Chains A and B, each alone.
Chain A
Amino acid sequence: MDGWLENVMKKAEGLDIVFNAIGPRPGAAGYATPATQLPLDMFFLPLTLIVGSQFLTARAAARRMAAQRRGAIVTLTATLSGGFVPFMAGITAACGAVEAMTRSLAAELGPAGIRVNCVRAGGMPETRTIQETLALMARTRGTAPGEPGARTMSTVMGRPVHLDDTAATVAWLASDAANGVAGQVVNVCAGALVS
């Protein structure tokens, strides 16, 4: 990865923005699995994959951004970390860890001109991840598909957040318009969480 980013730097003469949306498939990562039945390695999977890859991509980017004294790193989590959704122990822990890591990286890299922020996205119904998770959740609860989704997607705006909403916030955090924003976890959830 470091070598690949090095090539990017040579080709582009700079690296300004890094965003990482890597995540596991819900069924493979123990989503909607009761904690009493969740194997330890499956619990650790979202932590290893999501926290690990967010760290690696941020580290690789920071090494290069520090040399040019500018850059924006945007991490990604889900509203699980601020809510109380059952059967999601691993991914919820991973989201909390990424948010905490974001604050630490922001403090470490800020003096070098690198802003690190996190987008905490609500469940976007058009994504395969949410569709698969809701199906798994319905199976775990023994309810009809969609029933858990209707509850977990209750929002101030009366609608779920969508992909374009999330992407627009990432673009804003990456832009110079957000030059005064660092170390923040930004809720993009149509008001599913209110603070």
Chain B
Amino acid sequence: MNLDGKTAVVFGATGAIGSTVSRRLAAEGARVLSRDDIETNLSGSLAIAVAAGRWWTPQTRRRWTAGSKT
């Protein structure tokens, strides 16, 4: 496989799968940009921004709503 000159974006790169894939794509020659900041673990709970200004957490049971943020 040759990914020379290709640009890759990996989401969820803080986890084991995302980080391993990031490293592999880079090893094959790709330029890899990871979007770590959309996935944040907070004391075992989950908070994720799925789009700018939209957050959702199971703890607060808040739904996706534009502008809401934990």
Contacts and interface: CB of A to CB of B under 8 A. Distances in A.
Given A21-B17, A163-B16, A174 B50 contact: no
Interface string B1-20: 11100111111110111101
Contacts of A23: 12, 15
A48 B56 contact: yes
Contacts of B30: 16-17, 174
Given A17-B30, A42-B58, A175 B1 contact: yes
A19 B3 CA distance: 14
Interface string A165-192: 0111011101111000000000000000
Interface string A3-26: 111001000101111111111110
14 contacts: A2-B52, A3-B52, A5-B9, A8-B33, A17-B3, A17-B6, A18-B8, A22-B12, A41-B58, A163-B17, A164-B24, A167-B21, A168-B24, A176-B2
